[in-house]
A and B are shown apart, each in its own frame.
Chain A
Amino acid sequence: MIRSDVLKTLIPMISDQLVVSNIGLPSQELHLLDDQPTNFYMLGTMGLSSSIGLGLALAQRAKVIAIDGDGSVLTNFGTLPTIANNPADNFILLIIDNGSYGSTGDQPTYAGMKTSLAKVAEACGCDNVVECSAEDTAAAVQAALDGDKMTIIVSKCESGNIKVPVIDMDAPVIRHRFMAEVSRRNA
Chain B
Amino acid sequence: MSINQKIVNDFIKNKIEFVTTVPCKQLAGVIDEIEASKVIYHIPSNKEDEGMGLCAGAYMGGKRSAIIMQNTAIGVTINTLVTLIQYYNIPLPMLISYRGEIGEPVACQVEMAVHTKALLNQLNIPTYHFHTQSDAAELDAILNHSFMAKKPVAILTDASFWQGA
Contact = CB atoms under 8 A, between A and B. Distances in A.
B54 A186 contact: no
A33 interface: no
Interface in B45-64: 45-47, 49-63
B94 interface: no
B52 A78 contact: no
Nearest to B81: A45
A53 interface: yes
Contacts of A55: 18, 43, 53-61, 65
B138 to A, nearest CB: 28
Contact of B87 (A43, A51, A52, A56): A43
B80 A182 contact: no
Interface stretch (A79-87, A114-122, A142-150, A156-164): A79-87
A90 to B, nearest CB: 10
A28 B146 CA distance: 31
Contacts, number: 119
A20 interface: yes
Nearest to B55: A55
**What is the size category of the interface that chain B forms with chain A?**
20 to 34
Contacts of B80: 45, 48
Interface stretch (A92-100, A131-139, A172-180): A172-180
A93 to B, nearest CB: 12
A107 interface: no
24 contacts: A44-B83, A45-B79, A45-B80, A48-B49, A48-B84, A51-B52, A55-B18, A55-B55, A55-B58, A55-B60, A55-B61, A56-B58, A58-B58, A59-B57, A59-B60, A78-B46, A82-B54, A86-B43, A171-B87, A171-B89, A175-B60, A175-B89, A175-B90, A179-B60
Given A44-B84, A172-B89, A175-B88, 14 more contacts: A43-B83, A44-B83, A45-B79, A45-B84, A51-B54, A51-B56, A52-B54, A53-B57, A55-B18, A59-B18, A59-B61, A59-B63, A76-B53, A175-B90
